[in-house]
Structure formats: structure tokens, C-alpha cells
Amino acid sequence: MKEKLAKIREEVLGQIEASQSLEKLNEVRVSALGKKGALTELLKGMKDVLPADRPKVGQMVNEVRAEIEKALEGEKEKLEAALREARLASEVIDVTLPAKKNKTGHRHPNTIALEEVERIFVGMGYEVVEGPEVEKDYYNFEALNIPKDHPARDEQDTFYINDEIVLRTQTSPVQVRTMEQGKLPIRMIAPGRVFRSDEVDATHSPSFHQIEGLVIDKHITFADLKGTLAQFAKELFGEDTKVKFRPHHFPFTEPSAEVDVSCFKCGGKGCRFCKGSGWIEILGCGMVHPRVLSMSGIDPEEYSGFAFGVGLERIALLKYEIDDMRLLYENDERFLKQF
Amino acid sequence: MNTALSWIKAYVPDLSCTDQEYFDAMTLSGTKVEGYERLDKNLEKIVIGQITKIERHPDADKLIVCQVNIGKETIQIVTGAPNVKEGDKVPVVLDGGKVAGGHDGGPLPEAGIKIKAGKLRGVESMGMMCSIEELGSSRDMYPEAPQDGIYIFPQDAETGADAVEALGLRDTVFEYEITSNRVDCYSILGIAREAAATFRKDYVPPVVTVHDNGEDVNDYVSVEVKDTDLCSRYCARVCKNIKIAPSPRWMQRRLAAAGIRPINNLVDITNYVMAEYGQPMHAFDLDKVAGHKIIVRRAKDGDTFQTLDGQMRKLDSEVLMICDAEKEIGIAGIMGGENSKITDEVKTVLFEAATFNGPNIRKSAKRIGMRTEASGIFEKGLDPVNAAAAIDRACQLIEELACGEVVGGMVDVCEPIAPLRHIPFEPEKINRFLGTEVSREEMLSIFKMLELSYDETANEIEIPSFRQDLEGFADIAEEVARFFGYDKIPTTLPSGEATAGKISFKGRIEEIARDVAEYCGFSQGMCYSFESPKVFDKLLLSKDSALRSAVTISNPLGEDYSIMRTTPLNGMLTSLATNYNRRNKDVRLYELGNIYLPKALPLTELPDERMQFTLGFYGEGDFFAMKGVVEEFLEHVGMKKKPSYDPKAGLSFLHPGRQANVVYDKKVIGYLGEVHPKVADNYNIGTRVYVAVLDMPQIVEVSTFDRKYEGIAKYPSVTRDISMVVPKDVLVGEIEAMIAQRGGKILESYALFDIYEGAQIQEGYKSVAYSITFRAKDRTLEDVDITAAMKKILNGLESLGIMLRA
């Protein structure tokens, strides 16, 4: 019995080692441990063993069985690993083949610039509001201290619907509409489309966008205006951006200023981009004219405020180095896809 | 406005700065300098030389050999110029020097032209004699220069001296951008006053004294102003025994640098005074003024008048005219008449310096179609005090230039001049407003430089008449800020109550529209708000279509931009056409923009501006791809109900069998469809185009950001497939509506999985197959539940004439 057992053990272990595939291995398992397998057959001969020896023999058989099972398991793992390796080796791909992209669309550069401006001001506590594009002459001009026949009306070539209704030439009428609502303090920006009768060329469009800003509160100062716009410029154009305020004139602000930022291409040294000056003009601003406050029902003795207006296209053209404004309204997908 | 710095320095004698310093400082104090150009650009090593000897060139007929004394030495120069003779003093550029241009007067090369010693036909030439064109100028500005040849200096010019200096070219011309409120700065004196204050130097204006001949001007002319509302002051002076001649070179140089061509002493004086004082003047030939009487009155409707440029002008009763006893002789503030024009034979001159109503001049100039330099200044509204000062200055120059004899006195018809304005001086308030700590003394010193006087007892600032722009506290604060320096004002952030920054609900919905469109492959376009009325025909709109009533622009850029759009389709189709013509493949665009619907025409109140979310594409995709984008968007803005689609949209511009209104909660919120092939043709798009337009105001109204978790199903679902034979005219939408209506609470979803028309199906029918899924939240469904629900559904479908397929 013992010899038989040893022989089976030897034979089976040899077969396991020799098996080249999982199928073969399974055959070995069946031939050794199956119902008609060698070991099972051997156990059938147990009845011939002396009862006193049976536990010992039983133990021996079990030991061999365990040994075979372990060997089977080990070989199985080995074979499986080899198979996996072979599969992986056969599945190598050229990862430099082109990507399969989801075809997503692109946002208009104006919108990207606008969203950036909005994010900055919303972060500073400003509300984004809107006003009509076809606007009353009163809001576009008169309430902004530009009476009929004021020379400033010539500076903005206006599209008229009739004597009382115009296409707004600026987003400033939204200032008046906001103030008239009477809720103070005010911190708002008002982006929107504006119109001027300029012929279309590389730097002009009869329709473009502005972003108006208005802050009204007690004790608002010109220094606050400077600080606010300096922070805006830094966030929009980078931390190192310097800001220059130049006196200017707008009928609805006093004092008024135009604001230049240090050229973000050359850092202010002067380049082709800033026409050698090192500065780029980006917006107009000022302290809200007391007369504008009064006309909108706000007491200029108690409240003061500042306003500013930024040309959205100007920012988009500058930031994205677009050299022709007409591209913004052609909607050529090859242009739009670059943003 | 262009002005030589030397002219400014004439009235700010202590001013000393580089061009760049002047540029920067003036811009920072509010007189914006657009740019500057040195008149001696590229003029190097040019001296005054005297020709001592001229000989023929041995080998060239057209050349001569000159010996030229240039001060320390005499050099030999070969030239082809025909106009020089021995003894002439001429500009000579020496070896290694530079001139600005060629002798033909063409465009100046950026780097100038280098001059080197060399040989001309074998004869040594050590430099070049220059024409005025080679010196970068022209005979317009230097009328004494010969037409074709070397510039000749007067005999008293110093040999060997700097020729550029002698020509007055050591100067810089600055170009200013004057803002409309500062009419006083449209003048040399105004800018000089600002420059003096900017550099804290003394301002020394010209001292005007007129000697006159002792006669009385009232014996020569009388003036009557009939329409005083349009002419608040009319000053007249007379000069006699006029001798027309060129004006002196210093005056010619100053005018030339300002871009004004010198003509003769009389014209130059009026131009000079206009530049210096900012007061336009006019000179009449008094002998042509009938009755020696000036009448200022409105024209009559229908009058015509010949201006001194020879043009006939149509007048109306709002145009102010200068007339004599018999006729009209000038359009006030705009241009004089042919009939009183000064000629070289003039003996006696009547000078006019007047103050006209600015808005009236502006409107008249526009209506007549003639904006002149004078009208451009008058329309800003002039200071009446300046009129008298300017006319005296002109008379002074007549005497100084020996151009004639000034008759004593001035006819002055003047409305009462408004008293000077007083503004309280409130230094603390100014500092509070600016956020500064400027001392009271510093403020007062700024005011003093600007000629604003301080009345200590009243504690008020007195505003001079030429600063009509200073009206109140804020204006005074600006003067302090400008000369204290905008750059020195601190930077702070607003204090006070914190406010919540936010984007409006509408803005957030638009953001989602952009996001969804872009996820689905659409790029954002932007189109103009105005377009051509021809668009309506292009879109095949019926004659009575409501979309044809559009807001019309009264002064459009042209018919193609004359109406405010009532539909976003033209913009979308035009953009797609642009892409199609440029052979871009599979283009998908979207736009968020307004349409403008008038409530009534002609417009009495503002039109209804409605934001439209417009999608369009050609190439890959079909009607149902577009429908998918629409539904994707509606889901993302919280519109949970299933939209329905009404094929009877009746839209002329869409394919009649491939269009639908999008209906949500029984309201039409937009439409989609394939563009009508004829319309596509009208836009030259040679492929199928799909569009969808959603009306954002309606969508914003029903959108929501509220979301509630509904749990994830715990119990299994049961799916039943049904295959039906459906009459052809029954829409799948009707089947779905029936399933939804009859399915009961346990209906979870339904999905079309097959639709077929053809051979195996009886004529007039189609085969449609659906998967219907049921599920209960609280239990596992049993067969009886499903059977009951299915029975209800099938009964309903039967009522539509639908049979189950065997």
C-alpha cells in the first residue's frame, strides 16, 4: 500500500509538472483525485488494511492528496499567469495613434472674456444686471448729463429709431435704471451690447459690447475707484500689472479718468503691441456726476459713487491677440475653435 | 489739434523739459497728448553756407561746381540745381550728415537719407545743398522757397550757423486730444495755461495794446443783432490802408507747424488769432458791405447763398446769417460769402469776432452739410469775453506787421455777460471725496495757477469766464486731483456694507444653455442685431407674417443694417453659409442673442427684447439629433416634464414635413426643423441644415435649480415588448402620450425599438414596437399588476386604430 501510494504520488506530481495547459492539468486532477482516480481507487483497497493500521494509512493518503492538491493549485496559478502574460503581450497598442475626442463646441472669445470679468467683480460683491438695448434717449443721454445738442452726442454716432428712442451707444443707461430703483448701496456691473454708426473695419464694428460698473454708497472716494480698478486689472492681466489713471472727460462723471494698464506683452518696456508706449488703454471711469445722482433720485450730499465702462471686444482682442475685429462676428468655426 | 512747442514756450518762458517729459506730464494733468514729432527729424550736420564761386562742370552740362564757405572753411559741392548764384546763402548738409527726404517731395523715408562725400562725374563733392523738400517740409509751409531748387536764406543769415535752427525746425509739434468740455484749450493760450500749471511755471500771456489812428469805428460801420438768442456778442473793428503782403517768417513758421498754410498777412493774422485765442474771426472787405452796416439775423426758409468756396448753400430759418444793408454776406460761424470775400485789392477790412449759440451752429453746420474749422469751435460754446480780447489781438498784429492802420474803438453789441460763477471752497469735503489729504494751501496754489481766484471773506472760488466747464463742487475737486496728480491719489477699496455678488437667474440659465450646446458640439457665434428687410423674403415669410413688423433705424449704415431683427434665423443661416462656403465640414453653431419685437408701430414704447437660444448645424446629424440637444437642455434647466412636438408649426422657412413646435406645459417655447431647401438655397447652402430656436424668457420662467433625490429603485422592474400595426397618420407621439396616460403609477418608462413601413405591412399602416417598463417603489410587481396595466394601454391604443401584431 505504502509503495503504491508513493508510486502514485510520484507519477501524479510528474504529470502535474509535465502538464502544459489548464486542460491537461484538469485531466491530471481527474485521473488522480476523481471518482475513478488513482487515489480514490487506492482508498478502495483500504478494506484490506489492518484496522489498526488504517488511521496511519488514512493519514498517509490524505497527506499525499493534500500534496497533490497543492501542486495542482500551484501549477494552475503558474499556467494562468503565463496565459495572462501572453494575452497582455498580444494586446499591445500604439498609444500614439490619434485620440477619439468627444466633439465639443467652443465658447465665443467675447463670452470667455466676459465671464472672466464677471467672475472678478462677482467675487468683489458686485451684482450682474442688464438693461434694454433699444433704449430711451432719456436714459442713454439726458439722464447722463448729455442734453440734446450737447457736443458729446457727436462723439458717439448714434443710431436713432425716432427722437425719443435710440440704440444705446453705451451701457451707462443701466446706471440710471439701477439708481432709479432706489436700493442702496449699489455694486453692480452691467454687460451688454451697444451700437454706434461706425463702418465695419478691422478695429470698428457698429455693434459691440461694453461692461458698465457702478458703485454707490456713503463715503465712496476717488481712491476707492483707483483701488478697485487696480485690483481688477491685476486679476485680469496678471499680478504684476501696473495701472495709470489719466484725467479725461465724460459728461456723467467728474472727475473722470482713462485707465491704461502696463503692456502685458512687454511688461511696460514698449513693444509693437503697445505701440512702443508700454501702456495699453483699457477703460474709462470717474466719480458719478452729482447731477446724474440727483436726476436719479440720489442725494449727492449723502452719497457718492464711481462708475466705469470697459470695452469687452477690446479686452478680448488684447487678451487673445486677435488682430481683426470682424473675425468676432463672422462665426467661422475655424476661428471659434481656437478658444 | 497740432501745435509747435515753441509757440507754447513763448507764453511759458521758463518751461524747460524734454519732449517726452512734456508728453507725459501734460497727459497726466489732463491735456492728452496723442503724439509728437520733431521737425528736425533726420536733419543732421546741416549748416548755412555761402556760395563764393560757381564754375561749370568739365564733363557735364547740367552740373555746376560751387565753392561754398561754411564758416570755418570752404568746401566744394557739385550740384544740378538751376537756381543758385554766387553770394547765395544756402542750407548745406556736410559729409556724414542726413536729410529728411528726396528733392521730389515724396513720402519721407523713416530713417532719412545719409549724405556722403564723393565724386560726381569725376569731380569731388563734399556735401549737398538742400531744397526745402529735402529738409522734410514743403513750399506750402515755406512759401518763399523756390519751386524747383535750393532753398535760399536771406542775406543776413549767419554763415556757418545751424541751418535747421535758422529755418525754425528745431522744434517739436505736439498733437493734442482736447475733450469737448475744455473749449478754452482749443487754443495756444489755453494749452500754455495748462502747461504752466503742470510744470508750476509762470504763465505770461501776450500783452495787447493797440495804438489806433484816432478815428472812431462808429464812423465806419454799425452793427445790429436782431436774433440775440443766437448771437450773444458781436465785436467789430476796422483797419484801413491795408497792404497785403506775406506775413513775417516767425508767423508763417508757427502757422505751418500747426498745419495752417500761410497765405498773406491778413489771412494769416485771423488764422493766427484763431489758433492763439481759440476765437474764430472773419474779415470782410468793408467796401463790399452795403451801407457799411452789419445785420445779424436768421435766414428765411428756402434762401440760397454762395459761400466763399464758390458753393451754393441751401438755408432755412434756423440758420443765422451775417448781412449788410442789402444782402446776406456770410453764414454766421460757418463760412463767409463769395460776395464779401477779401481780395488782394482790399483797402479797408472789417474784423468780426462774435459769440454764436453753440448748439445752433452745430445743427446748422450739419443741415447745410458743411462743418468748418470755425463751426467746430463755435459749436462748443465760446466765452464772450474772449471775443473782444481776440479782436484786439488781431488789431495789434495789424499794427505790428505794418499791414494797415487800425481805426479807434470797437463796435460791441453784447448781451449782458453772465456774472462770474462762485463755488464754495470746501477743502475737507474735497479730500473726503478724493480720498486724499491735500492741504488747503496746496489747493489754493493750484487754483491760483489756473486763474481761479479765491475770495477769502466769502470762502468762495471765483471761476473765470473761460472756464464754463467748472460748475460745482465735483469740478473743483477734479482740478485739485489733476494738479495734485491722479498718480499720487492713494488706492483703497470701498469700505461700508458688504454686498453679495451674484449672477442673475436668467444669467445662470444662459450659462447652462452655453454649456449644453458646447457639450453637444456647438460653438458660440455672435451676430448683428440689425439686418436687411430683404431677410423676410429670403426666409419665405408670408406678406402678413408678424415677423415682418420690425423696429426700423432712421439713420442706418445702409439698408442691409436697417431693421432690428425679429428672428435669429438669418444670423444663424448667414453664419452657417459662411462656413459652408469656406468648406468647413460638419459645422455646429449656437447663438444667444436678442430679437426685438415692437409692441406697436411706429414705436411709442421700447420693444420687447427676447433672448433667443438658436442652434444650427449641417453635416453629420439629423432632425432627431437636434431634438436631442433641445431635450438635453430642457432637462438641465430642470424642466422635468416631457415636451411635446407639434408638427403643424406652419413655419415657412422649414421643411413642411420636418418641423415642429416645441410645446412645454401647453405653451409653444420654440421650434425646430430642417431648413426649407429653398431657404437653404437662398443662403447658398448646398446641404441639409437643421435649426432649433428656443424662446429664453419662457424657459427662464419655468426653469428651476431645485432637485430632489428620488431614491434608487430597490425592487426589480418588468419589461413588456409590444409590436403594433399602426395607421400611417398616427404619430409616435400619440402612441407615447397614450402609454403615458394609461400606464398608471407603475409605468416607469417606454422606449421605441423598431419602426418599419414596407413589404410585410399592409398599405396605409406601419409597424411600431415599444418596450414598456414597469416598476413599483415599494414591492416586487406581480403578473396581475402588469397584465392590468398592459390591458389599459392596449385598450387605449386600440382606440387609435392600432392593432397588436400577431
* SS3 (DSSP) at B6: helix
Question: Which residue in A120, A135, A178, A222 has the most chain B C-beta atoms within 10 A of its own C-beta, making it the best mutation to test that interface?
Answer: A222
In this structure, what C-alpha cell is assigned to residue B126?
Answer: 563734399
Query: What was the pLDDT predicted at B760?
Result: 83
User: A105 vs B518: CB contact, 8 Å cut-off?
Assistant: yes
* Average pLDDT, integer, range A140-157: 83
Say how far residue A233 (Cα) sits from the centre of its chain. Answer: 21
DSSP state of A45: G
Chain A residues 118-157 with CB within 8 Å of chain B? 118, 121-130, 132-136, 148-152, 154-155
Backbone angles phi, psi at B414, to 5 degrees: -135, 130
Q: Is the dihedral of CA A214, A217, A222, A223 positive or negative?
A: negative
Query: What was the pLDDT predicted at B327?
Result: 94
Residue B510 near residue B501, CB atoms below 8 Å? no
- Name the burial class of residue A254, with classes exposed (0-12), middle (13-18) and buried (19+) by CB atoms within 10 angstroms of its CB: buried
Which residues of chain B does A144 touch, with a Cβ-Cβ cutoff of 8 Å?
A: none
Could you tell me which chain A residue has the CA closest to the CA of B610?
A132
Which residues of chain B does A290 touch, with a Cβ-Cβ cutoff of 8 Å?
A: 472-474
> Which candidate, A220, A151, A194, places its Cα nearest to that of A309?
A194
Chain A residues 288-307 with CB within 8 Å of chain B? 289-291, 304
User: A207 vs B529: CB contact, 8 Å cut-off?
Assistant: yes
Alpha-carbon span A236 to A282, nearest angstrom: 11
Buried b (16+ CB within 10 A) or exposed e, A297-332: ebebeebbbbbbbbbbbbbbbbeeebeebebbbbbb
Cα angle value B750/B751/B756 (rounded, 5°): 135
CB within 8 Å of B688: residues ≥ 6 apart: B618, B622, B674, B675, B680
Query: What was the pLDDT predicted at B221?
Result: 97
List the single residue in A106, A165, A226 with the smallest CB-CB distance to B606.
Answer: A165
Is A156's pLDDT higher than 70? no
Task: Please give the helix or strand (H or E) that residue B455 lies within, else none.
Answer: strand B453-455
* Average pLDDT, integer, range A97-108: 92
For residue A268, what pLDDT band results from cuts at 50, 70 and 90? confident
In which region does residue B143 sit, left (phi positive, over 0), alpha (psi from -120 to 50) or beta (all else)?
Answer: alpha
In this structure, what C-alpha cell is assigned to residue B94?
Answer: 556736410
Which residues of chain A does B580 touch, with a Cβ-Cβ cutoff of 8 Å?
A: none
The residue assigned the cell 440775440 is B228
Nearest Cα of chain A lies from the Cα of B457 at a distance, in angstroms, of 24
Nearest Cα of chain A lies from the Cα of B556 at a distance, in angstroms, of 7
Q: What is the mean pLDDT of chain A?
A: 92
Alpha-carbon span B315 to B307, nearest angstrom: 11
Query: What was the pLDDT predicted at A7?
Result: 87
| Residue A76 CB coordination number (10 Å) | 16
* SS3 (DSSP) at B380: coil
Question: Which residue in B31, B110, B180, B467 has the most chain A C-beta atoms within 10 A of its own C-beta, making it the best mutation to test that interface?
Answer: B180
CB within 8 Å of B461: residues ≥ 6 apart: B422, B423, B424, B425, B447, B452, B453, B454, B455, B476
Query: What was the pLDDT predicted at B606?
Result: 97
User: A151 vs B518: CB contact, 8 Å cut-off?
Assistant: no
Is A36's pLDDT higher than 90? no
> Which residues in B600-683 belong to E strands, given as ranges?
608-618, 644-646, 654-664, 667-675
* SS3 (DSSP) at B597: strand
Could you tell me which chain A residue has the CA closest to the CA of B517?
A105
Say how far residue B253 (Cα) sits from the centre of its chain. Answer: 32
User: B529 vs A133: CB contact, 8 Å cut-off?
Assistant: yes
List the single residue in A187, A291, A337 with the smallest CB-CB distance to B523.
Answer: A337
Decide if B551 touches A, using CB distance below 8 A. yes
Alpha-carbon span B352 to B589, nearest angstrom: 64
For residue A52, what pLDDT band results from cuts at 50, 70 and 90? confident
Residue A217 near residue A303, CB atoms below 8 Å? yes
Residue A328 near residue B523, CB atoms below 8 Å? no
The DSSP annotation for B289-349 comes to: SGGGEEEEEEPPTT-EEEBTTS-EEE--TTSEEEE-SSSEEEETTTEEBGGG---TT---E
Alpha carbon separation from B448 to A191, B466, B750 (Å, rounded): 42, 15, 87
Q: Which residues of chain B have pLDDT under 70?
A: 806
Residue B575 near residue B685, CB atoms below 8 Å? no
Please name the residue ranges forming H helices in A132-211.
137-140, 152-155, 173-180
Alpha carbon separation from A287 to A224, A230, A291, B172 (Å, rounded): 10, 16, 11, 35
Nearest Cα of chain A lies from the Cα of B358 at a distance, in angstroms, of 9
List the single residue in A104, A126, A187 with the smallest CB-CB distance to B518.
Answer: A104
Could you tell me which chain B residue has the CA closest to the CA of A103?
B521
Helix axes B783-799, B732-742, angle to 10 degrees: 140
Which residues of chain A does B178 touch, with a Cβ-Cβ cutoff of 8 Å?
A: none
> Which candidate, B163, B67, B167, places its Cα nearest to that of B124?
B67
Could you tell me which chain A residue has the CA closest to the CA of B479?
A255
Question: Which residue in B19, B177, B181 has the most chain A C-beta atoms within 10 A of its own C-beta, making it the best mutation to test that interface?
Answer: B181
Backbone angles phi, psi at B324, to 5 degrees: -105, -165
User: B496 vs A185: CB contact, 8 Å cut-off?
Assistant: yes
Could you tell me which chain A residue has the CA closest to the CA of B378?
A151
List the single residue in B434, B594, B609 with the smallest CB-CB distance to A223.
Answer: B434
Residue B574 near residue B679, CB atoms below 8 Å? no
For residue A155, what pLDDT band results from cuts at 50, 70 and 90? low
User: B497 vs A217: CB contact, 8 Å cut-off?
Assistant: yes
User: B526 vs A104: CB contact, 8 Å cut-off?
Assistant: no
The DSSP annotation for B8-59 comes to: HHHHSTT----HHHHHHHHHHHT-EEEEEEETTTT-EEEEEEEEEEEEE-SS
* SS3 (DSSP) at B661: strand
Which residues of chain B does A246 touch, with a Cβ-Cβ cutoff of 8 Å?
A: 27-28, 30, 32, 486
Query: What was the pLDDT predicted at A285?
Result: 98
Amino acid at B155: Q
Nearest Cα of chain A lies from the Cα of B303 at a distance, in angstroms, of 24
The residue assigned the cell 406645459 is B665
Share of chain A above pLDDT 90, in %: 68
User: A161 vs B603: CB contact, 8 Å cut-off?
Assistant: yes
Edge-to-edge strand list for the sheet holding B32-38: B2-4, B172-177, B32-38
Contacts A–B by Cβ distance under 8 A: 250
List the single residue in A132, A161, A207 with the smallest CB-CB distance to B554.
Answer: A161
Chain A residues 239-278 with CB within 8 Å of chain B? 244-249, 251, 254-258
Nearest Cα of chain A lies from the Cα of B574 at a distance, in angstroms, of 9
Nearest Cα of chain A lies from the Cα of B744 at a distance, in angstroms, of 39
Which residues of chain B does A254 touch, with a Cβ-Cβ cutoff of 8 Å?
A: 474-475, 477-478
Query: What was the pLDDT predicted at A273?
Result: 80
Alpha carbon separation from A294 to A253, B106, B479, B778 (Å, rounded): 13, 57, 22, 66
Alpha carbon separation from B555 to B419, B531, B552, B558, B563 (Å, rounded): 41, 13, 9, 8, 10
In this structure, what C-alpha cell is assigned to residue B476?
Answer: 473743483
* SS3 (DSSP) at B243: coil
User: B432 vs A221: CB contact, 8 Å cut-off?
Assistant: yes
User: B501 vs A248: CB contact, 8 Å cut-off?
Assistant: no
